[in-house]
């Protein structure tokens, strides 16, 4: 693995880097998990059912009842906003699998691969991915299928796609057979969008993009790339330097209005010219100070990241300057995505009433409290997600 590349690049990780290098850093370098999303859970549940359908060793196909039972058993319930929404999605998935089954069971065949995990290199860069299905065609060439459960696909998006081109390159180098066709199968509409194999120049274009992303990552280039539509839904917004600085800037813009004397007071001549001039001076000074503070905060974050990167590279946990020492601290927090179920568990264990107001820190404390009933701790732990962060603590050295 090239130094500085935390893991092989996948289609989603390198396109995330292209979209916003700062977001890539939060996700893959700082390893701050994003919030669970119901649409990923839904996609995963349906993919698992189709993997089961095509995953038998020999015909016949499993029965519809067996596929639906597998779907139910492996349902992923993370990220849904409430039980009602989850139930609606569960039913939608069940209907979709039933229709898919009825359409494809008459022509059932055993694919060459189901959920084919690959690891290879592109121009020396390690890449990884998972192909939903690979079929061998009559002429010995390959057909690659990727299932989609999201919104409808348009023809332009399919023709310009990078994911399938990346899969073509990986499969051809690993399986030694030519890929003849590539498909996105949009499951909600049972529509297969098929493309012929991607031409050489398209594959070369994908390789260049993989190399460019790896180059940026290994050189530590993680500049934020804000875009209105992307940032609005970004889980890292509260940590993002763009928005920290932005809020200070917008505060600075608002200050003169807030500090201006009321219009009535000006009309009545109650504010003298000298007082107004002094007030404007102090507003300008305040705005400049706020800008300076914003720049210093950015610089602090940059320096912290730099020190942590050196710690990481050298395996240090502590280092000294002439006046300060820096200590790396690994912190573990817990998140409880399904709060409703946590509260139900506390109520059933008779603990809810004792906590008065069950706050996140109190519930986290239960997890580490050996006096707390072990079975309830184990169930709480199942409902939680561990978030590990690395902090840098700075202490002034005593002289
Ligand atoms: S908020 Fe915007 S700029 Fe910041 S990390 Fe997210 S996508 Fe990037």
My answer on whether 72 and 89 are in the same domain is yes
Atom number of ligand 1 nearest to Cα 234: 6
Which domain-ending residue is among 187, 210, 239?
A: 239
Would residue 143 count as lying in a domain? yes
Q: Which residues of 25-34 are buried (b: 16+ CB within 10 A; e: fewer)?
A: bbbbbbeeee
Residue whose entry in the numeric block shows the structure tokens 């081109």:
165
Q: Name the residue at shortest CA distance from atom 2 of ligand 1.
A: 231
Phi and psi at residue 239, in whole multiples of 5°? Answer: -95, -15
**pLDDT for position 320:** 74
In the predicted structure, residue 279 carries a pLDDT above the cut 60:
no
Give SS3 for 84: helix
**pLDDT for position 366:** 75
In the predicted structure, residue 344 carries a pLDDT above the cut 60:
yes
My answer on whether 202 and 219 are in the same domain is yes
- The Å distance, Cα 90 to ligand 1 centre, comes to 32
Percent of the chain's residues with pLDDT above 90? 53
In the predicted structure, residue 159 carries a pLDDT above the cut 60:
yes
Atom number of ligand 1 nearest to Cα 225: 3
Which domain-ending residue is among 271, 290, 311?
A: 311
In the predicted structure, residue 374 carries a pLDDT above the cut 90:
no
**pLDDT for position 39:** 95
User: DSSP labels for 129-177?
Assistant: EEEEEEEE-TTS-EEEEEEE-SSPPPHHHHHT-SHHHHHHHHHHHHH-S
pLDDT band at 261 (very low <50, low <70, confident <90, very high): very low
**pLDDT for position 246:** 54
pLDDT band at 354 (very low <50, low <70, confident <90, very high): low
My answer on whether 294 and 339 are in the same domain is no
Which domain-ending residue is among 239, 266, 281?
A: 239
Measure the CA–CA gap between 297 and 325, rounded to whole angstroms: 20
pLDDT band at 47 (very low <50, low <70, confident <90, very high): very high
User: Which of 18, 19, 22, 25 to mutate for ligand 1's pocket (most ligand atoms within 8 Å of CB)?
Assistant: 22
Atom number of ligand 1 nearest to Cα 230: 7
Q: Name the residue at shortest CA distance from atom 5 of ligand 1.
A: 23
**pLDDT for position 259:** 37
Measure the CA–CA gap between 172 and 178, rounded to whole angstroms: 6
Lowest-pLDDT range, 42-51, 135-144, 152-161, 329-338? 329-338
Nearest to 121 by CA among 217, 4, 8: 8
My answer on whether 330 and 226 are in the same domain is no
Structural Rg of the chain based on CA atoms:
28
Would residue 58 count as lying in a domain? yes
The CATH number given to whatever domain includes residue 179 is 3.90.320.10
pLDDT band at 352 (very low <50, low <70, confident <90, very high): low
pLDDT band at 376 (very low <50, low <70, confident <90, very high): confident
In the predicted structure, residue 287 carries a pLDDT above the cut 90:
no
My answer on whether 199 and 124 are in the same domain is yes
- The Å distance, Cα 225 to ligand 1 centre, comes to 6
**pLDDT for position 15:** 96
Pocket, ligand 1, Cβ cutoff 6 A: 20, 22-23, 224-226, 230-231, 234, 236-237, 240, 242
**pLDDT for position 133:** 97
Atom number of ligand 1 nearest to Cα 235: 6
- The Å distance, Cα 21 to ligand 1 centre, comes to 9
pLDDT, tens only, 18-28: 999 999 999 99
**pLDDT for position 264:** 42
Would residue 49 count as lying in a domain? yes
Q: Name the residue at shortest CA distance from atom 4 of ligand 1.
A: 240
pLDDT, tens only, 168-196: 999 999 999 999 999 999 999 999 999 99
Would residue 346 count as lying in a domain? yes
Give me the helices (H) in 200-272, please.
200-218, 228-232, 241-259, 263-267
Lowest-pLDDT range, 34-43, 98-107, 264-273? 264-273
**pLDDT for position 327:** 79
- The Å distance, Cα 391 to ligand 1 centre, comes to 21
Residues 237 and 231 sit within 8 Å (Cβ to Cβ): yes
Regarding pTM above 0.85, the answer is no
Would residue 245 count as lying in a domain? no
Which of the two residues, 341 and 20, has the higher pLDDT score?
Answer: 20
My answer on whether 61 and 185 are in the same domain is yes
- The Å distance, Cα 340 to ligand 1 centre, comes to 30
Number of domains the chain contains: 3
Residues 176 and 139 sit within 8 Å (Cβ to Cβ): no
My answer on whether 43 and 103 are in the same domain is yes
Most confident of 38-52, 266-280, 352-366: 38-52
Structural domain that includes position 226: 1-239
Q: What DSSP element (H or E) covers 220?
A: none
My answer on whether 322 and 306 are in the same domain is no
My answer on whether 307 and 163 are in the same domain is no
Would residue 331 count as lying in a domain? yes
Give me the helices (H) in the chain, please.
11-19, 21-24, 38-54, 64-73, 83-104, 155-159, 163-175, 200-218, 228-232, 241-259, 263-267, 273-314, 339-348, 352-355, 360-367, 374-382
Atom number of ligand 1 nearest to Cα 236: 6
Would residue 247 count as lying in a domain? no
Atom number of ligand 1 nearest to Cα 224: 3
Residues 185 and 147 sit within 8 Å (Cβ to Cβ): yes
User: Which of 242, 243, 298 to mutate for ligand 1's pocket (most ligand atoms within 8 Å of CB)?
Assistant: 242
Average pLDDT of the segment spanning 84-103: 96
Most confident of 123-137, 282-296, 351-365: 123-137
- The Å distance, Cα 328 to ligand 1 centre, comes to 26
My answer on whether 61 and 203 are in the same domain is yes
My answer on whether 198 and 58 are in the same domain is yes
User: Which of 19, 35, 226, 239 to mutate for ligand 1's pocket (most ligand atoms within 8 Å of CB)?
Assistant: 226
Cα dihedral sign for 161, 164, 167, 168?
Answer: negative
- The Å distance, Cα 12 to ligand 1 centre, comes to 16
Computed over every residue of the chain, the mean pLDDT equals 84
Q: Name the residue at shortest CA distance from atom 7 of ligand 1.
A: 231
- All residues at 6 or more sequence positions from 175 whose CB lies less than 8 Å from its CB, including other chains: 134, 142
**pLDDT for position 268:** 38
User: Which of 229, 234, 244, 245 to mutate for ligand 1's pocket (most ligand atoms within 8 Å of CB)?
Assistant: 234
**pLDDT for position 353:** 56
In the predicted structure, residue 359 carries a pLDDT above the cut 90:
no
- The Å distance, Cα 85 to ligand 1 centre, comes to 28
My answer on whether 164 and 216 are in the same domain is yes
pLDDT band at 110 (very low <50, low <70, confident <90, very high): very high
**pLDDT for position 398:** 56
Nearest to 173 by CA among 146, 135, 203: 203
């Amino acid at each position: 693995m090239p130094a500085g590349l935390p893991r092989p690049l996948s289609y989603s990780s390198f396109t995330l880097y292209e979209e916003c290098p700062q977001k890539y850093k939060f996700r893959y370098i700082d390893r701050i998990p994003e919030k669970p999303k119901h649409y990923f859970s839904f996609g995963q549940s349906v993919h698992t059912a189709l993997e089961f359908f095509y995953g038998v060793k020999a015909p016949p196909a499993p029965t519809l009842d067996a596929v639906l039972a597998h779907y139910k058993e492996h349902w992923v319930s993370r990220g849904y906003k409430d039980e009602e929404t989850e139930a609606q999605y569960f039913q939608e998935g069940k209907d979709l699998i039933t229709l898919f089954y009825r359409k494809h069971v008459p022509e059932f065949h055993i694919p060459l691969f189901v959920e084919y995990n690959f690891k290879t290199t592109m121009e020396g860069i390690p890449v990884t991915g998972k192909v939903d299905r690979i079929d061998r065609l009559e002429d010995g060439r390959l057909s690659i299928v990727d299932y989609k459960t999201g919104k409808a696909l348009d023809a332009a998006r399919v023709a310009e796609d990078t994911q399938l081109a990346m899969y073509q390159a990986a499969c051809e180098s690993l399986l030694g057979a030519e890929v003849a066709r590539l498909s996105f199968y949009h499951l909600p509409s049972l529509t297969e969008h098929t493309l012929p194999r991607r031409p050489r120049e398209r594959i070369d274009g994908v390789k260049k993009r993989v190399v460019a992303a790896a180059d940026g990552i290994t050189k530590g280039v993680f500049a934020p790339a804000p875009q209105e539509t992307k940032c609005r839904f970004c889980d890292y917004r509260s940590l993002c330097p763009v928005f920290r600085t932005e809020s200070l800037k917008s505060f600075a813009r608002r200050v003169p209005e807030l500090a201006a004397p009321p219009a009535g007071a000006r009309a009545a001549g109650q504010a003298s010219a000298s007082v107004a001039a002094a007030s404007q001076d102090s507003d300008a000074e305040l705005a400049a100070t706020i800008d300076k503070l914003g720049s210093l905060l950015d610089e602090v974050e940059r320096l912290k990241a730099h020190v942590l990167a050196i710690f990481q590279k050298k395996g240090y946990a502590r280092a000294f300057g002439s006046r300060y020492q820096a200590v790396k601290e690994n912190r573990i927090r817990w998140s409880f995505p399904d709060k409703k179920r946590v509260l139900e568990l506390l109520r059933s264990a008779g603990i809810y009433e004792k906590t008065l107001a069950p706050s996140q820190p109190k519930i986290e404390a239960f997890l580490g409290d050996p006096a707390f009933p072990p079975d309830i701790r184990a169930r709480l732990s199942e409902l939680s997600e561990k978030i590990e962060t690395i902090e840098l603590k700075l202490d002034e050295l005593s002289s």
